[in-house]
Amino acid sequence: MTIDNKDGAAFLAYVTDKLETRIAHISQSILEGQKDIEGMHEYYWENYTEMDQYGYENFDNQQALLHQINANEQQIHLRKRFRKMLDSPFFGRVDFVFEGDEEPEIFYIGIGNFAEEAGHTPLIYDWRAPVSGLFYDYDKGPASYQAPLGTICGEIASKWQYKIRNGRMIYQFESDVKIDDEILMAELGSGGSTALKNIVRTIQKEQNAIIRNTSDKILVIQGAAGSGKTSVALHRIAYLLYHDRKHLKSSNILILSPNGVFSDYISHILPELGEENIQEMSFDLFAYRQLKGTAADCEDRCDQIERNLLSETEDPVALEKQSQRFITHMEGFLLRLEDELMDFTPVEYKNVTITEAEMLDLFYNKFGEIPLLSRMDAVADTFIDEVETLKNKDLPEEEKQELIERFRQMYDTRDFYVLYNRFLEEEGLPLLPDLPPEERKLAYEDVYPILYLKYRLQKRQGRQDIKHLVVDEMQDYSRLQYLILKQMFSCRMTILGDRAQTMADEKQDSLTFLPKIFGKDIRRIVMNKSYRNTVEISSYANALTGVDDVELFDRHGKPVTEQNFASLDQALDAVVQELRLDPELVAATSDEDAPASENSACPDEQSADNVPAFETATVILRTAAEAEQAYEILREKLSARGFDVKNTLSLLHRDSTTFRKGLTVTTFYLAKGLEFDQVFSIFPSKDQRPLVRQARYIAATRALHELYAYEIQD
């Protein structure tokens, strides 16, 4: 087949043919490799008793087997990637005239590289390749990109955009601009799904600059709701993995995400972009694991929010424990512990003695830089070395441990819980209950102060394996939590959030203190253009909290519906009435004989009027108890209408790990980061506390297309 790379449709046919050929060759190679593996196994078991006594032949056989297994795995991964490319091999094209040339060179851009053979010039260039930056950063005219050998200059003669699905060309057109607004509008206007969308087809110039940033150690993205900050952060990770493949692997990256559902929501992004998935966990879970020896259980952020919602005012003691004054006083307490915590006594063993004076010298001088509660171990090790040297033999491990324990007993206490109580007493604050470790449960406001004490007093094992940390929802982290993160991780970071979505009574701008913690390594980037919501929804949401610095993408939709109800039951009747889920999605399968009009949450007459059908909707409430109540009521109401409640109605709670299509009932704090086609927010009209106003804002900004803001009067 002859290539015609100037005609997108013809090039698609050519590339598809080459992809299928390449996949067939890879499949044959995998089959042959599997036969080789089976042959090696068979040879080993038939001959292992006769292999040389030193094991050289056995070693060589095992190494050859391992090499073939790895080669096969690489081929399987490559085949999987190429099969995925068959659906949509490319989405963009740049015709670039290099400086000094007359004719343009044509570059097609897709999710990944593809060449007819390994090592050949690519037919398709990875969206992360240097030359692909032309597609995102420039209109037609003079342009340049950074290549390994330096800056490459020239001129863009033309740019094309394509939509390909199932290997078929849906449309193609030449565009003078970086990303045509119609393309972006179509992407944003499509229905929501149970997964965050990758944005490779619609990356904007300002987003591309963030994604390709490799120079800044700590990048802080302050983004408005719906600005795409999470997508940009994940695409940045994909770019960094591509850019620095020799030194950075997916196992070297950690995301601190808000909850398990959010982890599921974003888990597909990197695999879609040709990379392996990365580690994800919540900071609260990490803290719980670190404090297992100190307390049996710890509250998390959800517990604290629920407590704040159920009380009239936020606990002033809890607020004090998050203050800068509290941290400053704790540092003074740590300094005083240097003298107050110790009771030095001479140690004698096998006629070898270390005096109090010798211990003092070692403790305060030689090992003065070691954290306080780990310092005596260093003194003990020094003494053990002296004993072993003088006796000219190593001590058994049991004896070593006994000696170390004797030195540790010179601490008044090594219990962080007890030490924290001493500090609280000095501060005149209520003490935690005097309980053994197995009965302790830490309130959320006490978790991180105690964890901070642990990291300041005990030698910590830093996560040296983590080379890049992603912190999402940065506005919900306290100064103390960032101080802990700094001690835990010395790596590069991408920190992102929106100060308008804080889950505290007062908005917190992390950037007021982050530079003081991380120093000059930090770079701030503001993303103030909202893409997720329609103009109507964004305008409504921004008015709730006085946000006035957000640029709105010009996508219009249905006006926000505001309505008051006497009860939750009545509000949920309205939800059922307005719900516009896809009939095929919500129809109950248990009653095949039921009439379509009775077996659907979207009656036929509504579909006839071209009312849009959606894949996702949510009812967002204030507390977990309210969400559970609403879920039970909706289950009854929707079951009566033939709704498949088992498969398409779900309660998203703190222990949930998956995000499903259909109707989701949840709280505002668990909905953060997610998006839905339809959003029904239901709040008590009398509750106008700052936190609940924030909750209304968070709920509103989850809506892609339709927002119903319901208030309950009772």
pLDDT in tens, 14-47: 999 999 999 999 999 999 988 888 887 777 777 7
Query: Which structure tokens are listed for 218?
Result: 């700590």
Distance, CA of 272 to CA of 81 (rounded, Å): 9
Q: Give me the sheet containing 676-684, strands edge to edge.
A: 561-565, 703-712, 676-684, 616-621, 662-667, 649-651
Query: Which structure tokens are listed for 394?
Result: 């190593």
63 or 323, greater pLDDT: 323
DSSP per-residue string spanning 76-116: HHHHHHHHHHHH-S-SEEEEEEETT-SSPEEEEEESS-B-S
Specify the 3-state DSSP secondary structure of 390: helix
Interval 307-358: pLDDT, tens: 989 887 778 899 899 888 999 999 999 999 998 999 999 999 989 999 999 9
Residue 265 has a pLDDT of 82
Specify the 3-state DSSP secondary structure of 226: coil
Confidence of residue 443 (pLDDT cuts 50, 70, 90): very high
Distance, CA of 668 to CA of 682 (rounded, Å): 10
AA identity, residue 545 = T
Residue 188 has a pLDDT of 57
Query: Which structure tokens are listed for 684?
Result: 């008590």
Specify the 3-state DSSP secondary structure of 525: strand
Residue 469 has a pLDDT of 94
* Mean pLDDT, the chain, whole residue set: 87
Query: DSSP label at 368?
Result: T
Q: Is 473:258 a contact under the CB 8 Å cutoff?
A: yes
Q: Is 234:270 a contact under the CB 8 Å cutoff?
A: yes
Q: Where are the beta strands (DSSP E) in 333-452?
A: 347-349, 352-354, 441-442
Pairing of strands 561-565, 703-712: parallel
Q: Is 604 exposed, middle or buried (0-12, 13-18, 19+ CB in 10 A)?
A: exposed
The rounded percent of the chain whose pLDDT value lies above 70 is 90
Residue 224 has a pLDDT of 87
CA distances from 240 to 148, 326, 672 (A): 15, 38, 26
Q: Give me the sheet containing 522-527, strands edge to edge.
A: 279-281, 253-256, 468-471, 492-497, 218-223, 522-527
The rounded percent of the chain whose pLDDT value lies above 90 is 60
Rounded to 10 degrees, what is the CA torsion of 402, 406, 412, 418? 0
Q: Is 370 left (phi over 0), alpha (psi -120 to 50) or beta?
A: beta
Residue 31 has a pLDDT of 92
Distance, CA of 319 to CA of 315 (rounded, Å): 6
Backbone angles phi, psi at 476, to 5 degrees: -95, 5
Question: Is the Cα torsion angle 678, 680, 681, 686 positive or negative in sign?
Answer: positive
pLDDT (mean) for 186-208? 72
Interval 380-396: pLDDT, tens: 999 999 999 998 999 99
Query: Which structure tokens are listed for 502?
Result: 């804080």
Residue 595 has a pLDDT of 39
Q: Is 107:93 a contact under the CB 8 Å cutoff?
A: yes
245 or 433, greater pLDDT: 433
Weakest mean pLDDT among 418-432, 593-607, 645-659 = 593-607
Q: Where are the beta strands (DSSP E) in 544-701?
A: 551-552, 561-565, 616-621, 649-651, 662-667, 676-684
Q: Between vectors from CA 678 to CA 674 and to CA 682, what angle results, nearest 5°?
A: 85
Residue 364 has a pLDDT of 94
Q: Is 635:576 a contact under the CB 8 Å cutoff?
A: no
Residue 311 C-beta-side C-alpha neighbours within 13 Å: 12
Q: Is 501:475 a contact under the CB 8 Å cutoff?
A: yes
Distance, CA of 83 to CA of 19 (rounded, Å): 8
Distance, CA of 51 to CA of 478 (rounded, Å): 63
Q: Is 209:138 a contact under the CB 8 Å cutoff?
A: no
Distance, CA of 448 to CA of 459 (rounded, Å): 17
pLDDT at position 203 over 70: yes
Residue with tokens 């080669």: 71
- What are 581's strand-pairing partners? 614
Residue with tokens 């879920």: 631
Which among 136, 224, 143, 142 is positioned nearest to 180, based on CA atoms?
Answer: 136
Distance, CA of 253 to CA of 255 (rounded, Å): 7
Q: Is 592 left (phi over 0), alpha (psi -120 to 50) or beta?
A: alpha
CB atoms within 10 A of CB 690: 14
Distance, CA of 645 to CA of 631 (rounded, Å): 10
Rg (CA), the chain: 31
Interval 117-136: pLDDT, tens: 888 899 999 999 999 999 99
Question: What kind and span of H or E run contains 575?
Answer: helix 568-578
Confidence of residue 228 (pLDDT cuts 50, 70, 90): confident
Length of the chain: 714
Q: Is 88 exposed, middle or buried (0-12, 13-18, 19+ CB in 10 A)?
A: buried
Instruction: State the angle between helix axes of 324-340 and 444-457 in degrees (0 to 180), rounded to the nearest 10.
Output: 40
Interval 589-612: pLDDT, tens: 434 444 333 434 544 334 445 567
pLDDT (mean) for 123-151? 93
Interval 449-508: pLDDT, tens: 999 999 999 987 667 889 999 999 898 898 999 999 988 888 999 999 888 887 665 556
pLDDT (mean) for 506-525? 81
CB atoms within 10 A of CB 345: 11
Q: Is 322 exposed, middle or buried (0-12, 13-18, 19+ CB in 10 A)?
A: middle
pLDDT at position 225 over 60: yes
Rounded to 10 degrees, what is the CA torsion of 467, 468, 469, 474? 140
Backbone angles phi, psi at 191, to 5 degrees: -65, 155
Cα Dmax for the chain: 97
pLDDT at position 440 over 50: yes
Interval 261-313: pLDDT, tens: 888 888 878 888 878 888 888 899 989 999 999 999 999 999 999 998 988 77
Which among 196, 219, 224 is positioned nearest to 209, based on CA atoms?
Answer: 219
